[in-house]
């Protein structure tokens, strides 16, 4: 977990989706903790109820990968249906 000091308030930024923000870890950051941000779409790994009770804001990135995921799925479907990898290997092998 990285810990940044921003404008006299502390910001906690977990770097991993599997990292659980336990109360004791957050309490060790200090009483100035005002925000916990995560670079994930969800926030299941955060103790939301405790954070709300402590008056700590939560930031995440909803819908950031929606278009990218859909584009990847379409590309994989096209590559599979047209047997693109096999065709490429045949082309390379002559």
Judge if pTM exceeds 0.75.
Answer: no
Taking the C-alpha atoms of residue 50 and residue 20, their distance in angstroms, rounded to an integer, is 13
Residue 90's pLDDT band (cuts 50, 70, 90): very high
E strand intervals along the chain: 2-6, 9-13, 33-37, 57-59
| Per-residue model confidence (pLDDT) at position 6 | 44
The answer to whether the Cα torsion of 19, 22, 25, 30 is positive or negative is positive
Per residue in 13-70, pLDDT (tens digit) is: 555 544 455 666 676 767 777 888 777 777 887 878 888 888 888 888 888 888 999 9
Taking the C-alpha atoms of residue 62 and residue 82, their distance in angstroms, rounded to an integer, is 33
Residue 93 has pLDDT above 80, yes or no: yes
């Amino acid at each position: 977990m990285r810990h940044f000091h921003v404008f006299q308030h502390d910001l906690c930024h977990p770097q991993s989706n599997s990292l659980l923000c336990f109360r004791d870890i957050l309490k060790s950051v200090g009483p100035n903790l005002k925000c916990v941000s995560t670079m994930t779409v969800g926030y299941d790994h955060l103790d939301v109820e405790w954070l709300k009770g402590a008056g700590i804001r939560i930031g995440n990135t909803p819908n950031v990968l929606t278009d990218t995921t859909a584009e990847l799925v379409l590309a994989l479907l096209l590559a599979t249906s047209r047997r693109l990898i096999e065709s490429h290997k045949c082309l390379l092998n002559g």
